[in-house]
Amino acid sequence: MRVRLQPVGPKTESHPATSSIPTDNQNKSAIEVRLSPRLKRGFSMELSMAEAILSFKSVQHRHAIPAPKLTRPWATRAGPGIVGVSLDLYEGAVLGLIGPNGAGKTTLLRMMAGVLPLQEGQIQTRFEGTSWQEVPDLRHWVGHMPEQVRWQGRSTVVQALTQLGEMRGTSEKKIEQLLALVGLRSRRNEPLDNLSQGMRQRLSIAAALLGSPKVLLLDEPFNGLDPVAAQAFTALVKTLASKGVSVV
CATH topology of domain 141-248: Rossmann fold (3.40.50)
pLDDT tens by residue, 212-230: 888 999 988 888 777 887 8
Q: Is 226 exposed, middle or buried (0-12, 13-18, 19+ CB in 10 A)?
A: exposed
Instruction: Answer yes or no: are the C-beta atoms of 162 and 175 closer than 8 Å.
Output: yes
- Name the residue ranges covered by the structural domains of the chain: 1-140, 141-248
Tell which residue, 76, 221, 78, has the closest CA to residue 148. 221
Pairing of strands 32-34, 246-247: unpaired
Confidence at 237, pLDDT banded by 50, 70, 90: confident
pLDDT value of residue 50: 61
List, as one string, the DSSP characters of 113-170: TTSS---EEEEEE-TTSSS-EE-S--TTTEEEE-S-----SS-BHHHHHHHHHHHTT-
pLDDT tens by residue, 15-68: 333 344 444 444 444 444 444 444 444 444 444 446 788 888 888 888 888 888
Contacts of residue 74, defined as CB under 8 A and 6 or more positions apart, other chains included, come to 68
pLDDT tens by residue, 141-162: 888 888 878 888 888 999 989 9
Task: Answer whether residue 113 shows pLDDT above 80.
Answer: yes
pLDDT tens by residue, 67-102: 888 788 888 877 777 888 888 888 888 888 888 887
Mean pLDDT value of segment 205-213: 86
pLDDT value of residue 25: 45
